[in-house]
A and B are shown apart, each in its own frame.
Chain A
Amino acid sequence: QKEVEQDPGPLSVPEGAIVSLNCTYSNSAFQYFMWYRQYSRKGPELLMYTYSSGNKEDGRFTAQVDKSSKYISLFIRDSQPSDSATYLCAMSEGGGYNKLIFGAGTRLAVHP
């Protein structure tokens, strides 16, 4: 079993839809949770960062962490065609050597 599981999709939604992207994990020591957006043929770009449990909102994006369920989510409101990308979750325990574990990524397509 992988440490971090992420549904690869693809996920196809109409413009304006609410998108929900999820990851589950097995290591209860993870404390730092991130979402990266990766456009085709580009490097991953840090989108959201959360420490420990709770919610964080940034514009149309909301990240949620439920440590009791070992489950994290990214919600995109009013999705736009420019949101079409692969979304990678990543998490780590922190500390001196920050071993960041990535999910395989979910490919999202938002069509007009």
Chain B
Amino acid sequence: NAGVTQTPKFQVLKTGQSMTLQCAQDMNHNSMYWYRQDPGMGLRLIYYSASEGTTDKGEVPNGYNVSRLNKREFSLRLESAAPSQTSVYFCATETTVSYEQYFGPGTRLTVT
């Protein structure tokens, strides 16, 4: 029972390059979230998905796209990376009744 897994763990990109961050869960939760965490800023919501086939913007969606491939998987894509996107990215899932969120181990992204 892995919970929430994320790949890759680390990535370095040059400005303008693209990449996809992968997230998968085996908790059978409907809702999934992508956050970024920056020093002093806490966790900020990028996109979320309430169920398979639906996605919505969060607080900081600019420069990102998402895909909810199926119930298990929710990916985050950077089409043209910018240094401002240097951050730690976390995927989370959420229980239906109590709204508790469970996080993956994170992806550390550096854009040079």
Contacts and interface: CB of A to CB of B under 8 A. Distances in A.
B64 interface: no
Contacts of B104: 43
Given A32-B99, A42-B105, A97 B50 contact: yes
A45 interface: yes
Given A8-B40, A97-B48, A97-B56, A34 B100 contact: yes
A45 B42 contact: no
Could you say which interface size class chain B belongs to? 20 to 34
Contacts, number: 54
Consensus secondary structure, chain B interface:
strand
Interface in A56-80: none
B31 interface: yes
B101 A96 contact: no
A10 interface: no
Could you say which interface size class chain A belongs to? 20 to 34
B99 A44 contact: no
Interface of B: 4, 31, 33, 40-43, 45, 48, 50, 56, 58, 90, 94, 98-106, 108
9 contacts: A34-B101, A36-B103, A41-B108, A45-B103, A46-B101, A90-B101, A97-B50, A98-B101, A103-B42
